[in-house]
Amino acid sequence: MAFLFFALPLQAMSHLLLQPHIFFCVVLCNIKKKLRCLTHRAATLTAGEIRSALAHTDLDKMWQRDLTPLLVTRYPGTAGSLAVQQHIKTTLGSLEAGWSVTEDSFEAQTPYGPRTFTNLIATLDPSAKRRLVLACHYDSKYYPPQWHGKEFQGATDSAAPCAMMLELARALDQELKTHKSSSPDLTLQLLFFDGEEAMFQWTATDSLYGSRHLAQQMESTPHPAGADDTNLLHGIDLFVLMDLIGAPTPRFGSQFSSTSRWLTRLQNIERRLHSMGLLIDHPADVQYFWPNMPVGFVQDDHVPFLNRGVRILHLIPTPFPSVWHTFDDNEENLDRSSIQNLNKIIQLFALEYLNARPIDPQNPQNAP
């Protein structure tokens, strides 16, 4: 209800209030839409299925194949940015699952004049009605030359989250291929945003260049194809944004009550993997996910989607890593254990959300 009142201009609202049948129909439709998403049931994999699903995740491979090529300066429109785009496209293009990768390229005004920005959108099955979206930003924050040529790597911000998304696609390639072949209603989409960072100083127009553009594009693209009242944003079941990941012992609190149940599920996955002995440097008193810890609103790439009614899970730690926006946000200061553990937790979350069961070698009759 509150959403309805905020979403409509005042004039349209009073018009609706004067026509009770329209008013109740709109409210009912809204409730129906909410029910569909609120009742999404994720699978819970057995211990055997979990071992099988996580058998291919490999931190060394991720570091070498996915992360190292991302640890370059990658300001929008530069050679570094182009190399990173190429790396993301080649990596996803080489996988068996068959990702459809498209570019959203556009020019925007910045405090330094016009610049070209490019978002990358990878969709497992573009014909599926609904999507679980995983998102990160691949641009690095711009530091002008007066910083004596120092290079800002942005290892947690957000090279590591992007590498984790590529590792997820690689490690779960067979599971995602099998899932796609069953033509499900629900698929996986990976979004790599350009221009998250302010070029000069964070304002409404100097920040979130890529996500503002893509949210607008998705809103004006009918989905499913040919639909006249639904668009690509309606197809997003849940939008999971990962940022500032890679420092030791992160804590993720709840920013949005509408998605705290998914944070609870991540907490539950963390507990299950802990009790199976699958997490490293993770004693009993360490806990990454805190669904009952409310945290304040943080500006980030989810905002243009949130403002259009998309359900958001913002995986950004509280507090931010101590190296945030310093030249120490580099490879040396990344914490391998938390990255490896979060890889496993997020990979299992994605499989369970998609209801994509791997083949359990102990129990092959459970094959999908």
Which residues would be at the binding site for ligand 1BN (CB under 6 A)? Answer: 157, 197, 202, 243-244, 298-300
DSSP 145: G
Task: Provide the 10 A C-beta neighbour count for residue 129.
Answer: 16
CA-closest candidate to residue 105, choices 116, 89, 92? 116
- Residue 330 contacts residue 324 (beta carbons within 8 Å): no
- Residue 65 contacts residue 132 (beta carbons within 8 Å): no
**What is the closest distance, in whole angstroms, from the C-beta atom of residue 73 to ligand 1BN in the complex?**
15
Q: Which is nearer to ligand 1BN, 204 or 225 (CB)?
A: 204
Binder of residue 244, out of ligand 1BN, Zn ion, none (CB less than 5 to 8 A by kind)? ligand 1BN
E strand or H helix at 90: helix 79-93
Q: Which is nearer to Zn ion, 157 or 237 (CB)?
A: 157
Binder of residue 300, out of Zn ion, ligand 1BN, none (CB less than 5 to 8 A by kind)? ligand 1BN
Q: Which residues contact 335 (CB under 8 A, 6 or more apart)?
A: 246, 247, 248, 249
Q: Which is nearer to ligand 1BN, 157 or 360 (CB)?
A: 157
The rounded distance, in Å, linking the Cα atoms of 234 and 218 is: 9
**What is the closest distance, in whole angstroms, from the C-beta atom of residue 144 to ligand 1BN in the complex?**
17
**What is the closest distance, in whole angstroms, from the C-beta atom of residue 140 to Zn ion in the complex?**
8
The rounded distance, in Å, linking the Cα atoms of 364 and 69 is: 38
Residue 283, judged by CB atoms within 10 A of its CB (0-12, 13-18, 19+), counts as exposed
- Residue 270 contacts residue 288 (beta carbons within 8 Å): yes
Residue 341 CA, chain-centre distance (Å), reads 17
The rounded distance, in Å, linking the Cα atoms of 168 and 12 is: 44
Q: Which is nearer to ligand 1BN, 180 or 213 (CB)?
A: 213
Q: Which is nearer to ligand 1BN, 270 or 301 (CB)?
A: 301
Strands annotated E in 124-221: 130-137, 186-193
Q: Nearest 5°: phi and psi at 108?
A: -140, 155
Q: Which is nearer to ligand 1BN, 139 or 175 (CB)?
A: 139
Binder of residue 299, out of ligand 1BN, Zn ion, none (CB less than 5 to 8 A by kind)? ligand 1BN
Binding site for Zn ion (CB under 5 A): 141, 157
Binder of residue 167, out of ligand 1BN, Zn ion, none (CB less than 5 to 8 A by kind)? none
Binder of residue 202, out of Zn ion, ligand 1BN, none (CB less than 5 to 8 A by kind)? ligand 1BN
**What is the closest distance, in whole angstroms, from the C-beta atom of residue 17 to ligand 1BN in the complex?**
38
**What is the closest distance, in whole angstroms, from the C-beta atom of residue 12 to ligand 1BN in the complex?**
33
CA distances from 256 to 233, 308, 310 (A): 18, 15, 11
Residue 102 pairs in a beta bridge with 121
Residues with a catalytic annotation lie at 196, 243
CA-closest candidate to residue 303, choices 195, 233, 208? 208
DSSP 65: I
Q: Which is nearer to ligand 1BN, 84 or 95 (CB)?
A: 84
**What is the closest distance, in whole angstroms, from the C-beta atom of residue 355 to ligand 1BN in the complex?**
32
Binder of residue 243, out of ligand 1BN, Zn ion, none (CB less than 5 to 8 A by kind)? ligand 1BN
Q: Nearest 5°: phi and psi at 325?
A: 55, 30
**CB-closest chain residue to Zn ion:** 157
Measured in residues, the chain has a length of 368
**What is the closest distance, in whole angstroms, from the C-beta atom of residue 18 to ligand 1BN in the complex?**
43
